[in-house]
Chains A and B, each alone.
Chain A
């Protein structure tokens, strides 16, 4: 695992990726800090991070697009398969390298609240709590990006889908206001989600009947529940959209609450998408 980790880090620093990623993050947070903290003299650094979180839409896909897609394209994944290391080690090594890359600009950012504290009252626990949450939020998005990169051998496609997914996630709370709140609408949306879930399962496991049965069982259960108690589905769709939003949970930290359940949520997302990445990579061996 350490070999993969070192190799990846070495690669990032020998290409532009690391610098572009760091520069973007620092520039965006810098603009936010100038705007909120300096121009408007607001002492809350967490607002800057809330503003800065939008930059993830662009920089996370740029960072993660090549991580596995490029290996597939150059056929170097053959080497990884034949080396005496496991797929889990490959994914973890790559993911940890991405995290380190992300931590470097973040370490610079963590100095800002201390600097501002020299010139006024900064409530440091909220600032650093938010920086920590900012890190975990980014880590979760990087895990999502890693998975998307494992689905294709085309970097551009991985980046494009990544931007779309993160953007959709960013605006999912705003969009949820426009989503139908009726019970029937929610059921229909759930059925669509099951179909998509089934497709993902089929793609990742290559097992069609498993995918069909899972989707079918979920759909049957939902319809049965709807018939029994349709009121339970009132407002479910907007609720689900709210729940799926990674960014919404981050705002809790910005508001000054250190929400442990949100951290657990992010960690679950990370574990889930890394697991899917491993499966996606393993799938090529089992096609």
Chain B
């Protein structure tokens, strides 16, 4: 549906998007996740033709956004970070303008306007000026605008930012419904949100794609090289010597030592983490040292996110800069 190839965007010396490539299939809700200034908005702006790229291609349904913008844009509905609303107009007038600009006319236009107002539940405010609407309603008008022309892809940049908890739940519900008929791409820096609504997650940091998987897949993937924490009934040297005999331990960190007990955190590259814990158990048993505690840490998405973004931060030595809109 959307193919992004080697996308690069520089603002002067600052590399906002760095050789980004990914492919988006039809009919899922995709989450664009990254810390502030990761290049999420920049990427979305380029995908919708609002911004030029320094290099690379974006194709929507086979149409290049830069070479055949009309065809590509017709297939995309976009809600930027700040909803682009004419505050002096009513939602109805505003939607009529956007619909006409998207090439809708007459009966089809009226039907679509009625349809999207129904879908986003803004019927009751359609005759009020947008300036008098709450932020939640404004966001809905923005989404309604994106839905006009029945685009196959809907791109929403931080759709729940600045809303109160009830509005957030409503907007999420709406996005979930949209996902049934459209391909939805949304960006967020809130993990739980992406985890709650998205079928697939793209994590980007410093303009680079660092992960692209389902929420479960991401968790599973990062459970494997995971951590074991244990507390043994013995001094540090004994514990170290016992663990030294166990293969596949890639990292060892003593988190608490003193007196009789030693707490250790281990890292491993072994696929089967249970196999390792079995080996550890028998190693300690063989030396007659009691294991007081043995825990496998199941990584959640929060850890993955932090770990992935920290990794890339360590790799490149650039300073974090604020994202340009």
Contact = CB atoms under 8 A, between A and B. Distances in A.
Nearest to A15: B88
B52 interface: yes
B270 interface: no
Interface stretch (A2-10, A148-156, A187-195): A2-10
A209 interface: no
A84 B69 contact: yes
Interface string B41-55: 000010011111000
B73 interface: yes
A84 B70 contact: yes
Contacts of A121: none
B84 A75 contact: yes
Given A14-B88, A82-B49, A285-B50, A3 B101 contact: yes
Nearest to B12: A287
A14 B97 CA distance: 15
B80 A78 contact: yes
Contact of A4 (B48, B86, B101): B101
A116 to B, nearest CB: 40
A66 to B, nearest CB: 11
A11 B87 CA distance: 11
Given A10-B93, A84-B70, A84-B73, A79 B98 contact: yes
Contacts of B73: 82-84
Contacts of A286: 52
Contact of B85 (A3, A7, A76, A285): A76
A15 B11 CA distance: 38
B49 A74 contact: no
A221 B100 CA distance: 51
B184 interface: no
A75 B45 CA distance: 13
A220 interface: no
A6 B100 contact: yes
Contacts of B102: 83-84
B180 interface: no
B145 interface: yes
Contact of A81 (B50, B86, B87, B145): B50
Interface centre among A14, A84, A85 (most CB of B within 10 A): A84
Interface in B6-31: 11
> How many B residues touch the partner, as a band?
20 to 34
Nearest to A7: B97
Given A82-B49, A84-B103, A74 B97 contact: no
A75 B82 contact: yes
Interface string B62-87: 00000001110110101010101111
B100 A3 contact: yes
A11 B49 contact: no
Given A83-B98, A84-B103, A76 B88 contact: no
A15 B129 CA distance: 13
Given A81-B50, A84-B73, A285-B52, A76 B84 contact: yes
Contacts of B50: 78, 81-82, 285
A85 B78 CA distance: 14
Contacts of A78: 45, 50, 80, 82, 84
Interface string A203-220: 000000000000000000
A79 B51 contact: no
Nearest to B44: A82
Given A84-B103, A285-B52, A79 B88 contact: no
Given A3-B97, A82-B76, A84-B73, A285 B51 contact: yes
A167 to B, nearest CB: 30
A6 B98 CA distance: 11
B100 A2 contact: yes
A21 B156 CA distance: 39
B186 to A, nearest CB: 16
Nearest to B72: A84
Interface of B: 11, 45, 48-52, 69-71, 73-74, 76, 78, 80, 82, 84-89, 93, 97-98, 100-103, 145
9 closest A-B pairs by beta carbon, nearest first, are A3-B100, A79-B84, A81-B50, A3-B101, A84-B73, A76-B84, A82-B78, A7-B97, A78-B80
30 contacts: A3-B97, A4-B101, A7-B101, A10-B93, A10-B97, A14-B88, A15-B88, A74-B84, A74-B87, A75-B82, A75-B84, A76-B86, A77-B84, A78-B50, A78-B80, A78-B82, A82-B49, A82-B73, A82-B78, A82-B80, A83-B101, A84-B69, A84-B70, A84-B71, A84-B74, A84-B103, A86-B69, A86-B70, A285-B50, A286-B52
Given A78-B80, A82-B48, 7 more contacts: A2-B100, A74-B85, A76-B86, A82-B49, A82-B80, A84-B74, A86-B69
